Copies of this chain bind each other. A is one copy, B any other.
Amino acid sequence: MQATLSLAELAQLMQVEPPQEGPMGLWRFALRGVGAGETLFRQGDRFRSMYVVRTGFFRSSFIRGTTEHMVAFPMTGDALGMDGIGPGVHPVETAALSDAQVAVVPYALLEQMECLHGAPGEILLRLLCRENACKSELVSLLGRRNSASRAAAFLLRQGKRFGALGYSHSDFPMPMRHADVGSYLGLRPETLSRAFAALSAARLARISLKAVEILDVEGLRAVADGAKAEPVARTKAPAARGTARALRPAAEARVQ
Chain B neighbourhood of A230, CB < 8 A: none
Interface positions of A from 224 to 249, Cβ below 8 Å from B: 225-226
* Complexed CA–CA distance, A215 and B140 (Å): 33
Interface positions of A from 59 to 101, Cβ below 8 Å from B: 62-69, 71, 82-83, 85-87, 91
- Asked whether, in the complex, the Cβ of B124 is within 8 Å of the Cβ of A114, the reply is no
Contact of A254 among B66, B87, B225 (CB under 8 A): B66
- Asked if A139 lies at the interface with its beta carbon under 8 angstroms from chain B, I say yes
A69-B140, A117-B115 given; A129·B85 CB < 8 A = yes
- Asked if A2 lies at the interface with its beta carbon under 8 angstroms from chain B, I say no
- Asked if A135 lies at the interface with its beta carbon under 8 angstroms from chain B, I say yes
* Complexed CA–CA distance, A5 and B65 (Å): 44
- Asked if A109 lies at the interface with its beta carbon under 8 angstroms from chain B, I say no
- Chain A contact-residue range equals 35 or more
Nearest B residue (CB) for A124: B125
* Complexed CA–CA distance, A38 and B188 (Å): 41
* Complexed CA–CA distance, A116 and B118 (Å): 8
* Complexed CA–CA distance, A33 and B121 (Å): 33
Give a binary string over A200-223; 1 marks a CB under 8 Å from any B CB, 0 the rest. Answer: 000000000000000000000000
- Asked whether, in the complex, the Cβ of B179 is within 8 Å of the Cβ of A252, the reply is no
- Within the complex, what minimum Cβ distance (angstroms) separates A177 from chain B? 9
- Asked if A128 lies at the interface with its beta carbon under 8 angstroms from chain B, I say yes
Known: A67-B252, A67-B254, A86-B133. 19 other contacts (CB 8 A): A62-B140, A64-B143, A65-B226, A66-B253, A67-B253, A67-B255, A69-B143, A87-B133, A91-B136, A121-B125, A125-B128, A132-B132, A132-B135, A135-B139, A138-B139, A139-B142, A142-B186, A143-B186, A179-B256
Tell me the A residues contacting B by CB distance below 8 Å: 62-69, 71, 82-83, 85-87, 91, 114-118, 121-122, 124-126, 128-133, 135-136, 138-140, 142-143, 179, 186, 225-226, 252-256
| Nearest 10 pairs of A and B residues by beta carbon | A86-B129, A135-B135, A128-B128, A142-B142, A69-B143, A68-B255, A65-B225, A66-B252, A117-B117, A67-B253
